[in-house]
Amino acid sequence: MQPTAARDELAALRAGDEAAFLALVRQHHGSMIRVAQIYVGSRAIAEEVAQEAWVGVLKGLDRFEGRSSLKTWVFRIVTNLAKTRAVREGRTIPFSSLRTPENVPEPAVEPARFRRHDDPRWPGHWAVKPNEWPEERLLAAERAAIVDGAIDALPPSQRAVITLRDVEGWSSDEVCNALELTETNQRVLLHRGRSKVRKALEEHLG
């Protein structure tokens, strides 16, 4: 059973309500590009895939039965198109970063910031401690779009996961579903993404 708001949204789209369509597009288009970028080589192609996906959404809207949420369904169209496109481009292992993120270790914090493991008193404890971030400086960093830039600089799979989870506020189930990820891999990608964004903020805030 779909919540009322979801049914209203679907009804409005089917009735040709342009405002409803634009709202949906504005809400998801940026994330769709980021999801597509996991699979295809370039930002430009990812943008094409997102555009193409909207056409797919329109084609399928009348047949959409509402068994999944509209959002889940839209993003499934994106991933399917992006994968097809990746194959056509000859990208044979585009998904490896999603499947085996653990292969290359990426510490959340540089090991040099901790005391050595053979430290007689405090092995593995902070050597170079993080400082508290005053709220007003955090707001300044926000205005300077530090986090936006740091997310953009992430590897595609980390960028997609953090965008859906932290920017868009999706649940971990929704993200696993849309990106066909195990919960563990989703968490690893989220962890690495957040750790790097924190680091970027720390570099900015000192």
Partner 1 sequence: MTETTAEAMSCQELVELVTAYLEDALSGEERRRFQDHLADCATCQVYVEQIRATIRVAGRVTAEDLSPEAERDLLAAFRSWHG
**Dihedral angle at the C-alpha atoms of 137, 140, 144, 148, nearest 10 degrees?**
70
**Of 91 and 187, CB closest to partner 1:** 187
Residue selected from 6, 30, 43, 69 as contacting partner 1 according to rule CB under 8 A: 30
Reading phi first (left if > 0) and then psi (alpha if -120 to 50, else beta), residue 90 is in left
Cβ-contact 164, 31 below 8 angstroms: yes
Cβ-contact 114, 124 below 8 angstroms: yes
Which residues between 157 and 176 bind partner 1 (CB under 8 A)? 162, 166-169, 172
Residue selected from 130, 140, 180, 203 as contacting partner 1 according to rule CB under 8 A: 130
Give one DSSP letter per residue of 20-50, joined into a string: HHHHHHHHHHHHHHHHHHHHSS-HHHHHHHH
DSSP 103: S
Please report whether residue 120 would count as binding partner 1 according to CB under 8 A: no
CB of 1: closest distance to partner 1 in angstroms? 27
Q: By the criterion CB under 8 A, which residues form the site for partner 1?
A: 16, 18, 21-22, 25-27, 29-31, 33, 47, 51, 54-55, 58-59, 61, 107-109, 111, 114, 123-126, 129-133, 138, 141-142, 145, 147-148, 151, 162, 166-169, 172, 183, 187, 190-191, 194-195, 197-198, 201-202
